[in-house]
Chain A
Amino acid sequence: MTLSIRKTLVAVAAVAGLAFAASPALAAGAAHKLKDGGFSFDGPFGTFDQGQLQRGYKVYREVCAACHSMNLLHFRDLGIKGGPFYDEHAANPAENRFVRAIAAEFQIADIDNETGETMQRPGIAADKFPSPYPNATAGAAANGGANPPDLSVMAKARHGGADYIYSLLTGYDAPPSYLTMTSTQHYNAYMAGDLTPFVPTGAHVPPGGFIAMPNPLASDGLVTYDDGTAATKDQMAKDVSAFIAWASEPHGVQRKQAGLGVLIFLALFAGLTYLSYRRIWAGVAH
Chain B
Amino acid sequence: MSEHESTYVPRTGIEKWLDTRLPIVRFGADYMSLPTPRNLNYWYTFGAILMVCLVIQIITGIVLAMHYTPNTGLAFASVERIMRDVNGGWLIRYVHANGASMFFVAVYVHMLRGLYYGSYKAPREMIWILGCVIFFLMIATAFLGYVLPWGQMSYWGAEVITNLIGAIPVIGEPVLIWLRGGPAIDNATLNRFFSLHYLLPFVIFGVVVLHLWALHTAGQNNPVGILIPKDRTAKDTLPFHPYYTVKDGFALLVFMMMFALFVFFMPNALGHADNYIPANPLQTPAHIVPEWYMLPFYAILRAIPDKFGGVVAMFGAIGVLFILPWLDTSRVRSMRYRPTMKIFFLVFVVVGLGLGWCGGQLPDAPVIGHFKTFTLIDGDLNSYLWLTRFLTAYYFAFFFIIMPLVGLKETPLPIPATISDPVLTGAPVVSQAVPAQAEKKG
Contacts and interface: CB of A to CB of B under 8 A. Distances in A.
B247 interface: yes
Given A5-B42, A8-B251, A251-B83, A263 B292 contact: no
Contacts of A158: 273
Nearest to B242: A280
Q: A interface, by DSSP: helix, strand, loop or mixed?
A: helix
A157 B260 contact: no
A280 B42 contact: no
B199 interface: no
A228 B369 CA distance: 51
A267 B257 contact: yes
B269 A23 contact: yes
Contacts of B254: 8-9, 12, 270
Given A18-B292, A25-B360, A263-B260, A77 B250 contact: no
Contacts of B295: 22, 25
B246 A259 contact: no
B55 interface: no
A51 interface: no
Interface string B292-331: 1001000000000000000000000000000000000000
Nearest to B46: A11
A26 interface: yes
Contacts of A278: 442
Nearest to A152: B80
A104 interface: no
A266 B256 contact: yes
Contacts of B278: 150
B178 interface: no
B442 A4 contact: yes
B257 A270 contact: yes
Contact of B273 (A12, A157, A270): A157
B264 A263 contact: yes
Interface size class of A (residues with CB under 8 A): 35 or more
A21 to B, nearest CB: 6
B238 to A, nearest CB: 7
Interface in B241-255: 242-243, 246-247, 249-251, 253-255
A192 interface: yes
A2 B442 contact: yes
Q: B interface, by DSSP: helix, strand, loop or mixed?
A: helix
Given A28-B287, A72-B77, A284-B243, A259 B272 contact: no
Contact of B105 (A15, A251, A269, A274): A15
Residue from the set B257, B270, B289, B435 with the largest chain A CB neighbour count within 10 Å: B257
Interface size class of B (residues with CB under 8 A): 35 or more
B65 interface: no
B374 interface: no
B253 A269 contact: yes
Contacts of A218: none
A286 to B, nearest CB: 5
B222 to A, nearest CB: 10
Contacts of B357: 21, 25
Interface string A226-242: 00000000000000000
B83 A1 contact: no
A5 B439 CA distance: 10
A250 interface: yes
Contacts of B262: 19
B155 to A, nearest CB: 14
B242 to A, nearest CB: 5
A221 interface: no
B166 to A, nearest CB: 26
A256 B264 contact: yes
Residue from the set A4, A153, A156, A280 with the largest chain B CB neighbour count within 10 Å: A4
B372 interface: no
B207 interface: no
B429 interface: no
A2 B441 CA distance: 7
Q: Which 8 A-B pairs have the closest CB atoms?
A: A1-B442, A259-B264, A25-B360, A22-B292, A157-B276, A270-B253, A8-B42, A156-B276
Interface of A: 1-5, 7-9, 11-12, 15-16, 18-23, 25-26, 28-29, 44, 72, 77, 149-150, 152-153, 156-159, 192, 248-251, 254-256, 258-260, 262-263, 266-267, 269-270, 273-274, 276-278, 280-281, 284-286
Interface of B: 38-39, 41-43, 45, 77, 80-81, 83-84, 90-91, 94, 101, 105, 109, 238, 242-243, 246-247, 249-251, 253-258, 260-265, 267-270, 272-274, 276-278, 286-287, 289, 292, 295, 353, 356-357, 359-362, 365, 420-421, 435-436, 438-442
Given A15-B258, A26-B360, A157-B277, 7 more contacts: A22-B356, A44-B265, A156-B268, A259-B260, A266-B256, A281-B442, A284-B243
